[in-house]
């Protein structure tokens, strides 16, 4: 089966969905790879490296028109027109944020597989793109904060006196948050973190950070597929009242909290920002779904009362080489999982395949996406 790898690089995207090393591995599984010219250049993988790995180089129509297309983000309307009827599309398709796009893919006769709906099980871990890319985002968030705040992260004892270490607070201790904690610790900051999930405290403390305990009932993530769920209004208000004092006494706040298919929870209010010291920095990783900070503006730098608020949506591309390699390995794991004696098979009896699949044979097959299109909450 031929795998198409389109060029989706641009000002905010430098990754490529399949890398040369993974191209070689896929060839051993009887897959062939066709890459749109220039697709890997921004990530450090020029066309000759793909050719050496056995890939063919072609134009956009050929790459999008392959039997199976691996992409980064969902296709535009024009690119949907390039897709092969009966073909398979695998990528970060935003099915819960853009359900109308899924309807268009169904109408085009495409089997759409979305990484966002992959079951969070042990068996699916090698395929978990959300986790691998969140690792990159959490790492980058700390570097951005360290560059922006104008202070050293570690404590320094110098002839000019002792420099106190940065105090960093991470809100949300999922994959991105835990990587942010680990990176900030490596740079020498004093790190604290908070998450509504009960299991997070042990994970935070295992990295040497302090867990912030609030008088809010902790959630059992095993009942919510590994994710936090939205708080009731009164619990949300109590959370904000208690969290404010912790935000105010930190130099850096990195927020990573997200709820799939919903607006990001509000964790940092205008009032909290106004109580932070001038020169403090907030990095909001939830900007694509509304942001965790009331003052965040996606891909803009906001300064309020001397506090800098960053809400980048392209942090992962800052480490495009490694982020691409991880993405490609996750994608290859999915492809090998789908491969049977007769080729790639969409088996709805398999939990992983059924979870990934959003559209098939001209129909929407994901119940949550169907509910959203019908006007439900999802």
Active site residues: 120, 125, 128, 131, 227
For residue 32, give the nearest of 55, 16, 63, 50 by alpha carbon: 55
Per DSSP (E only), the strands in the chain are 2-5, 32-36, 56-58, 68-73, 88-92, 111-114, 156-158, 161-163, 167-171, 190-194, 210-211, 252-255, 281-284, 301-304, 307-310, 339-340, 343-344, 357-360, 363-364
Spatial contact of 64 and 35, defined as CB atoms under 8 Å apart: no
Contacts (Cβ under 8 Å, ≥6 apart) of 331: 17, 18, 22, 70, 90, 127, 129
Q: Could you tell me how far CA 283 lies from the centroid of its own chain? A: 15
For 297, the token pair is: 């503006």
For 124, the token pair is: 């699916």
Distance CA 134, CA 139 (A): 8
């Amino acid at each position: 089966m031929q795998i198409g790898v389109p060029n989706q690089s641009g000002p905010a995207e430098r990754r490529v969905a399949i890398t040369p090393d993974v191209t070689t591995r896929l060839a051993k599984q009887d897959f062939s790879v066709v890459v749109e010219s220039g697709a890997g250049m921004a990530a450090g993988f020029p066309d000759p490296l793909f050719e050496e790995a056995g890939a063919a180089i072609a134009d956009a129509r050929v790459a999008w028109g392959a039997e199976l297309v691996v992409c980064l983000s969902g296709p535009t309307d024009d690119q949907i027109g390039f897709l092969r009827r009966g073909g398979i599309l695998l990528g970060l398709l935003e099915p819960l944020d853009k359900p109308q796009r899924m309807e268009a893919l169904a109408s085009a006769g495409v089997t759409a597989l979305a990484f966002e709906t992959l079951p969070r099980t042990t068996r699916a871990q090698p395929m978990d793109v959300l986790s691998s890319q969140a690792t990159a985002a959490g790492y980058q968030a700390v570097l951005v904060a360290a560059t922006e705040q104008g202070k050293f992260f570690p404590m320094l004892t110098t002839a000019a006196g002792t420099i106190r270490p940065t105090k960093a607070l991470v809100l949300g201790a999922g994959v991105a948050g835990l990587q942010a904690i680990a990176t900030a610790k490596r740079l020498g900051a004093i790190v604290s973190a908070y998450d509504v999930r009960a299991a997070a405290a042990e994970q935070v403390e295992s990295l040497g950070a302090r867990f912030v305990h609030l008088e809010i009932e902790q959630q059992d993530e095993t009942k919510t597929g590994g994710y936090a769920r939205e708080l009731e209004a009164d619990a949300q208000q109590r959370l904000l009242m208690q969290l404010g004092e912790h935000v105010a006494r930190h130099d850096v706040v990195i927020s990573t909290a997200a709820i799939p298919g919903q607006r990001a929870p509000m964790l940092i209010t205008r009032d909290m920002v106004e109580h932070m010291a001038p020169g403090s920095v907030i990095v909001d990783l939830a900007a694509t779904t509304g942001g965790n900070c009331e003052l965040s503006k996606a891909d803009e730098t906001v300064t309020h009362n001397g506090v800098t608020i960053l809400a980048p949506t392209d942090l992962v591309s800052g480490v495009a080489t490694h982020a691409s390699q991880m993405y490609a390995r996750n994608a290859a794991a999915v492809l090998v999982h789908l491969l049977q004696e007769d080729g790639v098979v969409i088996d709805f009896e398999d939990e992983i395949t059924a979870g990934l699949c959003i559209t098939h044979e001209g129909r929407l097959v994901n119940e949550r996406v169907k509910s959203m299109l019908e006007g439900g909450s999802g």
